[in-house]
Structure 1
Amino acid sequence: MSRKMKNMVLEGLEIERIATEGKCVAHYEGKVVFVQQVAPGDVVDVRVTKGRNSFLEAEAIRIRSYSKDRVEPFCQHFGVCGGCKWQHLGYSLQLSYKRQQVIDQFQRIAKVPLPEINPIIGAKDDRYYRNKLEFTFSNNRWLTKEEIASGESFEKNALGFHVPKRFDKIVDISHCHLQEGLSNEIRNKLRDFALAKGISFFDLIRQEGTLRNLIIRTTLSGETMVIVQFGEENSEAIHAVMEFLHTSFPKLTSLLYIINLKKNETFHDQEVHTYAGTPYIEEVMEDLKFRIGPKSFYQTNSHQAHRLYQVAKEFADLSGDEVVYDLYTGTGTIANYVARHSKKVIGIEYVEAAVQDAHINSELNRIQNTEFYAGDMKDILNDEFVEKHPAPDVVITDPPRAGMHEDVVKRLLSLGASRIVYVSCNPATQARDVALLADRYEVTAIQPVDMFPQTYHVENVVLLTKKTQ
């Protein structure tokens, strides 16, 4: 019956609260209805997009009355671009919902005794906070309903972000409120130059075209890296584009390009060419420098990354005599951040290029008590590895959204470190792993950190202490 409800219009639903992944909840004849891009307190008419026996998913087609908690979105692209889904909510309200999300996930999934969850650490800036953005060139721009209805012809090329759930449609971005510095000027000038010169934008369906992708990375100290991906080996166009960027923005720290002939934009297996400047930029955190290459992972909110690492170090409670295992170490940012307060830090990471960056960051900061190993976590952290290395007093783990593999959780139980500091961008999988560790560890502190204002995403740090009995 629920599937037959698809496309039905349900009128006058009151939005009650926010659930996981930013979806709002209403009810219709005993069924939960999930609706996006509305706010608690709205009264809306919705169209059902998906029906299940226990719940429905729907889109709002009319707002009958607005919630008192709504604010005016500041971005002209809000509602089309999927990047900032919570601009219609005030920032203090966003923070309270994010903290509640952590509470809900741990109560529903972990089901272990919990301390009071600390107030969330909000961001210093709720816009212009990202140090990395990726834009896609496309010859298939997303047209608004008004543009289509007008019957006029519009420019079909675009440089911007994917429309949610549409890999082939790109929203042409005129101003993005996520990244400061030269970001908007670089994107807009490059798009205008390419249009004027007739350089082709990529066709995402046919997989052809010259200009494919633009990545802009920045640091708090004012350094900027620009990476242009080309979809074909057109030497004349490549030179024209790169020389235009070099002459238009002569102060760029790093100007790079990639010729990517694959069917996706990932480039970890591609050669990166340096057109001008250095092949890297450097971020500064306290008295540490972190070198960031085109393939390096670095937390995309530099200010909040510092706060996140401060929390991790505080939870680790290091005296200088501890052996620390830093699992999923990435480019070794947390490992190097805590190294000066530890006896030894051993970092493990799947991506070999990231481990190379971790070594460089230790050398750059003259840190000599770190070791880094590359490989799949569940395979590297085996009996042989444990026999060759000192047992950890503290484990810091920062896995991807999927959480830790069950074999890794079992290994942590057998290692028996006094403290585990678990950093996660997904409280649901974090809560699942905490439940698996509950036989030997108790949760003694939980600290949410907001890394991504205007979105429903939340970072969370949990301190697990080994039980005495």
Structure 2
Amino acid sequence: MARRRKKKLPVDPVRAEIESLSHEGRGVAHIDGKATFIDNALPGEEVMFIYTSKRKAFDQGVAVEIIKASADRVEPGCVHFGLCGGCSLQHMSSEAQLAHKQSALIDQFHHIAKLEIDEVLPPLTTELWGYRRKARLGVRFVIKKDKLLVGFRERNGGYLADMDSCEVLHESVGHHIKDLQTLIRSMEAYQSIAQIEVAVGDELTTLVFRNLVELGDDDQGKLITFAKQFNVQVWLQPGNSSTAYPLWPTDSRLHYAMPEYDVELDFLPTDFTQVNYGMNHQMVARAIELLDLQPEHNVLDLFCGIGNFSLPLTRKTRKVTAIEGSEALVARA
């Protein structure tokens, strides 16, 4: 049976009025009665867009010209916004983003859980930039471009974005994407580094290089030189996460403190920790406040990890029973 030919997409831009915003942050319009989801478009705007895909139930596109802008539109803070898939709402003010996400959450409760939300607490907020302390960066050498890429995937597709910085990542990494590209490209095994795991503590940044082959002394030396120059710790991971080990320095440890509870938590770069530490502090405080804990209370914390909630809770209650499936995480807690 012959394969059905894929229809060509219209080339010329199309005018659209944006009616609303989808849950994932795309503008929604109807073109000839058909729902069309448009990136880089906000409610109330008039835009010119081009199609990126056409399907039976809906179409997709991206705005290439803003004819009438929304009052909520702002200039994106990152030059790679629109290409990089790490962020989707930088063109929208932070206040409008919060309102949209709150509305989407309430809508999900209504449609999925059949619950009506009568009261919504004030949202927790923190820094807009440089807050992300955990990430996984892809690494790929593109032969056609003769360029080594380090970063997140493109918004629409499986390719890595061609980027040299990230304003959302902690500055110890986000401002050095280009330096990482230069480092890996200089290595003999540059095509055998698959990804970089990023973990940032209060006093240390660790980069875990996933190496598909054993690295020679020269390549390891380049990694150590990079670590010294940019004041980071370098690990190697030849297999799954359990094979990761520190290359240099070998005696440094990641940790973050919660001084308000007299708690300091050690963790490995491959452990799960909260991405946003500023938000984490507020989240723990809000949970403790809402629980209205008393000294005689007993608390059960399921999937406690390294004790992010459990250990602060011990300062407020008689007893905390924490359950975790990973023995290694329990040992570090």
Under a length normalisation based on structure 1, what TM-score does the superposition of the two structures give? 0.63
Preserved contact between residue 299 and residue 321 of structure 2 (Cα < 8 Å): yes
1:410 corresponds to: none
Equivalent residue letter for 1:11? V
Q: 1:59 aligns with which of 46, 58, 61?
A: 61
1:178 corresponds to: 168
Q: Percent identity?
A: 24
Preserved contact between residue 213 and residue 229 of structure 1 (Cα < 8 Å): yes
> CA, structure 1 residues 316+76, in 2 after alignment: closer, same or farther (shift >3 Å)?
same
2:237 corresponds to: 258
Q: Distance in 1 between matches of 2:190 and 2:296?
A: 56
Q: Deviations over 1:364-393 (max 9, x none)?
A: xxxxxxxxxxxxxxxxxxxxxxxxxxxxxx
2:294 corresponds to: 319
SS in 1 for 2:121: coil
2:31 corresponds to: 28
Preserved contact between residue 50 and residue 63 of structure 2 (Cα < 8 Å): yes
SS in 2 for 1:162: coil
Equivalent residue letter for 1:171? A
Preserved contact between residue 236 and residue 247 of structure 2 (Cα < 8 Å): yes
91-100 or 29-38, which deviates more? 29-38
2:228 corresponds to: 247
CA-based RMSD of the aligned residues comes to 2.7
1:132 partnered with 2:113: no
Q: Distance in 2 between matches of 1:6 and 1:103?
A: 39
Q: Deviations over 1:330-387 (max 9, x none)?
A: 222111121221222222334x1xx4334433xxxxxxxxxxxxxxxxxxxxxxxxxx
1:214 partnered with 2:196: yes
Equivalent residue letter for 1:201? Y
1:339 corresponds to: 314
Q: Distance in 2 between matches of 1:39 and 1:155?
A: 37
Tell me which of the two structures has the higher relative contact order, counting C-alpha pairs closer than 8 angstroms and 6 or more residues apart: 1
Preserved contact between residue 217 and residue 225 of structure 1 (Cα < 8 Å): yes
Equivalent residue letter for 1:182? S
1:294 partnered with 2:284: no
Q: CA deviation at 1:117?
A: 1.4
> CA, structure 1 residues 118+227, in 2 after alignment: closer, same or farther (shift >3 Å)?
same
- The 5 A counterparts of 1:276-295 are 276-278=249-251, 280-286=253-259, 287-295=262-270
Q: CA deviation at 1:6?
A: 7.9
Q: Distance in 2 between matches of 1:283 and 1:256?
A: 19
Equivalent residue letter for 2:228? T
Q: Distance in 1 between matches of 2:83 and 2:151?
A: 12
Preserved contact between residue 5 and residue 48 of structure 1 (Cα < 8 Å): no
- The 5 A counterparts of 1:298-313 are 298-313=273-288
Equivalent residue letter for 1:276? P
Preserved contact between residue 133 and residue 275 of structure 2 (Cα < 8 Å): yes
Q: 2:122 aligns with which of 116, 119, 124?
A: 119
Q: CA deviation at 1:271?
A: 3.8
Equivalent residue letter for 1:314? E
Equivalent residue letter for 1:268? S
4+ runs deviating over 6 angstroms: none
SS in 1 for 2:142: coil
Q: Distance in 2 between matches of 1:317 and 1:171?
A: 46
1:41 partnered with 2:47: no
> CA, structure 1 residues 276+114, in 2 after alignment: closer, same or farther (shift >3 Å)?
same
Q: Distance in 2 between matches of 1:246 and 1:60?
A: 40
Q: Distance in 1 between matches of 2:189 and 2:33?
A: 53
